[in-house]
Amino acid sequence: MHSLSGVQPIGRRRAVIAAATAIVMATVVPLGGRTAAAADDAAAFVQTLGDKVVKVLQQKLPRDQTEKQLNEVWLSAFDVEGIGRTVLGTHWKSATDEQRKAYMEVFPKYVAKLYAIQFSDYSGETFAVSGSAPLAAGQSLVHSQIVRPGKDPVRCDFVISTAGQAMKIMDVKVEGVSLLITKRTEFDSVVAQKGIDGLIAAMRQKVG
């Protein structure tokens, strides 16, 4: 049985979703012209985002305050609508207009809290982009690491939409674990057991 229990600490989730990585890497296209420039811009976007996260963590505030500030950082960076529809999958088509509205009202808060919890226990780390490459359909893949004193670095890969006026995060893989794939599987299970309304209620309970 699956539940909306959030993300486990990174150290407990070293299993890599190899198939997801293979799919992403298979879509990489050669660098050149606009695509290369877009990849460079995406790398700069992710570095700025990472610097904001580290700045919050370095304040060493109480956990609830850290989560609140990280919520704001993530909310401004994610393509919430695109991720929300993708994660809900085929259930989006079967949902009523009211259910879609309710789901999209809570989903941004849910995703932001997910990653606020994920990173809130860090301190003393640095964030560094290690490379980027263009993907098909106006997206770029940005590789980065959270460097931890005396510990192995944590790998974070970002899929960035570069097609719109403002860059947005489409997916995040922490140590190879994809937000989209993980949450889509989890949401499918919850909807199968409790329906879309049950999923929305569980998400509301999670964000408080």
Asked if 84 and 183 count as a contact pair (C-beta separation under 8 A), the reply is no
Judged against a pLDDT cut of 60, whether residue 99 lies above it is answered with yes
Q: Is a pLDDT exceeding 80 seen at residue 56?
A: yes
Phi, psi at 95, each rounded to 5°: -75, 150
Residue 87, C-beta contacts closer than 8 angstroms, at least 6 positions apart: 107, 179, 180, 183, 184, 187
Distance CA 208, CA 68 (A): 12
Tokens of 204: 């509301």
Tokens (6 digits) for 152: 């192995």
Coil, helix or strand at residue 142: strand
Phi and psi angles of residue 196, each rounded to the nearest 5 degrees, phi first? -65, -40
Amino acid (one-letter) located at 1: M
- The phi, psi pair for 38, rounded to 5°, reads -65, -40
Mean pLDDT of 26-41: 63
Q: Average pLDDT in the 141-150 region?
A: 88
Q: Which sequence spans correspond to the domains of the chain?
A: 13-207
Let me know: does 56 contact 73? Beta carbons within 8 Å. Answer: yes
Query: What kind of architecture, by CATH, is found in domain 13-207?
Result: Roll (3.10)
The residue ranking higher by pLDDT, 96 or 1, is 96
Closest CA to 168 of 147, 143, 142: 142
Q: What is the pLDDT of residue 27?
A: 40
Token digits of residue 63: 């956990």
CB 132 within 8 A of CB 142: yes
CA distance 156 to 2: 24
Give ∠ CA 51-26-155 in degrees, rounded to 5. Answer: 30
- Structural contact between residues 128 and 144, judged by C-beta atoms closer than 8 angstroms: yes
Query: Would you state the pLDDT for residue 121?
Result: 65
Q: State pLDDT tens for residues 172-197.
A: 898 888 888 888 999 999 999 999 99
